[in-house]
Amino acid sequence: METGTGNPLLSTQKSSDSGLQAVLHPLVLLTISDYITRHTLREQHGPIVGALIGQQNGREVTIEHAFECATRAKDGEVVLDDDWFEQRLGQMKTIHSAPQLDLVGWYTLLPRSGPTPSILSIHNWILSKHNESSLLLGFHPEESIKHDAGSRLPLTIYESNYEADELKHEQGEDNEMRDGEPPLKLRFRELPYSVETGEAEMISMDFVARGAGNAAAVEPREQKIVMPGNTDDPKGKRKMELTEPTAAKSNTTESEDNILSREDEEMIAALTAKANSVKMLQSRINLLATYLERLPSSYLTGDDNSMVTGDGEPTTPSHTILRSIQALVNRLSLVVPSATEAYEQEMLSEANDVHLMELLNDVLQSTTEIRGIGKKYNIVETSRNQNKKHSDDPKLLGSRFAEI
């Protein structure tokens, strides 16, 4: 595949001529995207520049980790901070020493058209100081915003090489003969790459995927407002609907009710982890208890050095396991509090406080119920007195007899 000639920094040679192959790891993409996100949200100034470390095995270059770099302005150009970069690169080599990783390239933001002259100062410095075959990873932010399912990643990996300018022949004119070789200029050529995922990276990607699912926004359900004048009730009250909802509405309501918030998801995950830890601890304790129960009593006296297994075949007990169990038992005293009486007194005090709060809650509920009964009794007595007063009034009796 030949690259376009619109950008003077792009090579016109085929990418398959060098035979170089890049292997990209997802952790690099996570690091770059995190750096771009923080740089954008914090409204920081300056370019986004970082280093790539990996391995080079023959014509295959692996890009396994990345870290951001500090830059500074020098003579109107952006360059790397030499001291900071050397110190940071040494730290990364020390951390990733098995297998040993080294600087294989750097990354920055680039347009889809290719490298720009502003990156030449950094790239030339890396070529002269660290790696003569350094790669350049250009991330295209405009493609990351507008992406489709199944589309390629918004990045391009380039290799650099010094190439001679091609002589342009014009028709009808003689070319000037010049002695010596033509000057070499730095050109970039796009490299094919593949994505490779390790076990640790699979865990990270799964965590990111789960976090993105939990961060989904849930829109609140709309509430219908019924105006009093639109009902059939003359008093302006809304009548209760006795019709049952349809299956579609019930399924929608159930799905909305089943959506948990981020706090609920985190609490459930924490409780699940604690429950699994307790189950594992219980299984380990049962295993140790079974192991000790199957030790023969004669082994404690030193007469017999065999242990009977479930199959009935005697085996020699492991002194290493027994010493580990003994050390574990000796450390139990550190877990149990030394002041047992004070600890029990504190536990009793906290239990009494909890019971006192429960009793106060019961008293408040009983008081609320008694108050409600008193209100109902007052209403009944008031209506009864009013009825009795109407029945004893002679004027009301006279009017009733007149009507009869």
Return the pLDDT at 239: 44
Domain assignment of residue 353, given as a range: 340-403
Q: Can you tell me whether residue 298 is helix, strand or coil?
A: helix
Last residue within a domain, chosen from 174, 198, 222: 198
Residue at 326 is within a domain: no
Q: State the Cα–Cα distance between residues 166 and 137, nearest whole angstrom.
A: 26
Residue at 94 is within a domain: yes
What confidence category does residue 369 fall into, taking pLDDT thresholds of 50, 70 and 90? very high
Q: How many domains, the chain?
A: 2
Residue at 141 is within a domain: yes
What confidence category does residue 32 fall into, taking pLDDT thresholds of 50, 70 and 90? very high
pTM across the whole model:
0.51
* CATH code of the domain in which 58 resides: 3.40.140.10
Evaluate if residue 170 carries a pLDDT over 70: no
Residue at 366 is within a domain: yes
Residue at 300 is within a domain: no
Q: State the Cα–Cα distance between residues 183 and 240, nearest whole angstrom.
A: 90
Return the pLDDT at 11: 82
Residue at 151 is within a domain: yes
CB burial string 249-260: b at 16+ within 10 A, e below: eeeeeeeeeeee
Residue predicted with more confidence, 133 or 169: 133
Q: State the Cα–Cα distance between residues 363 and 341, nearest whole angstrom.
A: 33
Residue at 147 is within a domain: yes
Q: Could you tell me which residues come within 8 angstroms of residue 288 by beta carbon, excluding any fewer than 6 positions away?
A: 325
Q: Of 3, 358, 372, which is closest to residue 187 (Cα–Cα)?
A: 3
Q: Can you tell me whether residue 381 is helix, strand or coil?
A: helix
- Per-residue pLDDT tens for 36-59? 989 888 888 888 999 999 998 888
Query: Mean pLDDT across the stretch 330-337?
Result: 72
Rounded-to-10 torsion of CA 192, 197, 201, 204 = 90
Is 120 buried (19+), middle (13-18) or exposed (0-12) by CB count in 10 A?
middle
Structure tokens at 284: 């380990």
CA distances from 169 to 85, 183, 185, 251 (A): 46, 17, 20, 74
Residue at 247 is within a domain: no
Widest distance between CA atoms in the chain:
142
Return the beta strands (E) in 118-220 as ranges.
135-139, 155-164, 184-190, 193-195
